[in-house]
Amino acid sequence: MKKITIVGGGPAALMLAAQLDTKKYQVTLCEKKKTVGRKFLVAGEGGLNLTYQSDLEELISQYSPSEFMAPVLRQFTNEDLMSWLDFHGVSTFVGSSSRVFPALELKPIEVLNKIVEYLVTRGVKFQTDTKWVGWNAEGNLSFEGFNDAASDLVVFALGGASWKVTGSDGEWRTAFEKRGVIVRPFSAANCAFGVDWDKNFVKTHQGKPLKNIGLRYKEHFSKGELVISEFGLEGNAIYALSQKLQEGLLNEERVVVHLDLKPTMTVAQIRAKYKRSKLTKVTEVLKKDLNLDRTSIGLIKQFTDKSTFLDPDLLAKSIKSIPVIIQSADELDKAISTLGGITLEEMDENFQIKKIPDAYAIGEMLDWYAPTGGYLLQGCFSMGFALAKHLNELEVVNELA
Ligand SMILES: Cc1cc2nc3c(=O)[nH]c(=O)nc-3n(C[C@H](O)[C@H](O)[C@H](O)COP(=O)(O)OP(=O)(O)OC[C@H]3O[C@@H](n4cnc5c(N)ncnc54)[C@H](O)[C@@H]3O)c2cc1C
């Protein structure tokens, strides 16, 4: 029987271990923390968004590069993930925003435990408290706290570089670079962005959500929620643009996003509603006729001059395009996910690292991007599934040869 060592114990690794044929492979999973799935549990703190319910093509379009992720997601779709979880006692429900969560009675730790228990029944050996530190002089895997590291194949699933406390610290980068593998530097994705707010504005509106808004950066547009914070802006609407904003911050002198406070109305419709109003004070029209909340009105006042505010035509345009200058991205460690990692050119279509024989890598440690909404976990689970399928088939070919 061949030996596979999986290094890292996040969702990508767990799905791989769940799908590998344990009649053909002896599977050992090495995790440097005392327990596996720490980031998965952190993800669960704000509502464990396991995947997103949508048509498969729409799902694929959310990933970048989507051509890399498409074959992976087709092998293990959002529907497949929901069925698999259901089969293992994790029933799911689709929230109002099409996000998929575990049934309300299930805590994230229970979801994780069900997966881990299944792996134990399959004979997967867990080697926790075991940090991989690179390769030794003979080219074998080298660990702190574990000597029996000889294996035929290794799969790395070491995660990105945010929320270091969970174990995903990106320290693995150096060992791969020593082997000539190109690792793109990490930067924050799905993160908050800094805005130089007026002190009084932020004092009043900090923590307030702007719901159902649109956000534009160049030709990119997202819809969702924003929250005003002391640092700047957070929420799914800006997370969705994070990859493009990071590119902008790297390459442009000024990065400006435009908030659309009424994405379901055109400028002409806003103007017409304004015209029909019987109210005289602008703030009252905004509040009562256009249903804008205090924070939205505060933003309009903050980012328009007096003459624009008093001119219904200009005001209607402003409501749909409030310019906010983005100063910076939040710290890497606070990000939900990271950009960067092993570049995809280093990988073949089966997740094999071209420059390291018999070594594979999956999950967030590769350089791909997806917004929040369950796409990150879906991507990691799908990669785990796809690689297991490949390795299971590979073994069959070897046996027949
Ligand atoms: C606050 C927060 C909320 C999130 N919410 C969601 C959500 O709701 N939905 C969603 O889809 N995604 C969410 N995510 C993202 C999601 O959790 C990650 O994309 C996912 O966990 C990545 O899985 P992975 O298997 O690639 O790596 P990870 O989950 O990062 O696991 C990697 C593992 O490798 C281990 N490791 C690292 N280095 C070594 C080493 N040298 N030796 C041994 N072990 C090592 C780590 O300890 C870790 O356990 C969230 C993330 C955060 C931070």
Domains of the chain: 2-188+335-400 (3.50.50.60), 193-329 (no CATH)
**What are φ and ψ of residue 3, in 5° steps?**
-105, 130
pLDDT of residue 138: 85
pLDDT of residue 148: 63
CB distance 8 to ligand 1 below 6 Å: yes
User: What percent of the chain clears pLDDT 70, i.e. is strictly above it?
Assistant: 98
CA of 212 to the centre of ligand 1 (A): 29
| Number of the ligand 1 atom closest to the C-alpha atom of 158 | 34
Residue with the smallest CA separation from ligand 1 atom 3 is: 43
Interval 255-280 mean pLDDT: 95
**262 by DSSP, 3-state: which?**
coil
pLDDT of residue 401: 40
Q: Where are the beta strands (DSSP E) in 39-84?
A: 51-52
- Alpha-carbon torsion 336, 338, 342, 343, what sign? positive
Residue with the smallest CA separation from ligand 1 atom 50 is: 43
CB distance 106 to ligand 1 below 6 Å: no
CB distance 335 to ligand 1 below 6 Å: no
CB distance 7 to ligand 1 below 6 Å: yes
CB distance 191 to ligand 1 below 6 Å: no
- Find tokens 């070491």 and name the residue: 158
Probe target for ligand 1 pocket from 52, 171, 336, with the most ligand atoms within 8 Å of CB: 336
| Number of the ligand 1 atom closest to the C-alpha atom of 30 | 43
pLDDT of residue 258: 98
Residue 171 has pLDDT above 50, yes or no: yes
pLDDT of residue 118: 98
> How high is the mean pLDDT of the chain?
95
Query: 212 with 236: CB under 8 angstroms?
Result: no
Between 198-202, 299-303, 391-395, the lowest mean confidence (pLDDT) is in: 391-395
CA of 75 to the centre of ligand 1 (A): 22
Q: Where are the beta strands (DSSP E) in 50-182?
A: 51-52, 92-94, 99-102, 125-127, 131-135, 141-144, 153-156
CA of 308 to the centre of ligand 1 (A): 47
- Residue 143 to residue 146: CA distance in whole angstroms: 6
CB distance 338 to ligand 1 below 6 Å: no
Model confidence pLDDT, tens digit, residues 95-108:
988 999 999 999 99
CB distance 190 to ligand 1 below 6 Å: no
pLDDT of residue 247: 96
Model confidence pLDDT, tens digit, residues 53-98:
999 999 999 999 999 999 999 999 999 999 999 999 999 999 988 9
Instruction: For residue 33, give every residue at least 6 positions away whose Cβ sits within 8 Å of its Cβ, in sequence order, or none.
Output: 9, 128, 129, 166, 167
Helix axes 78-87, 375-400, angle to 10 degrees: 80
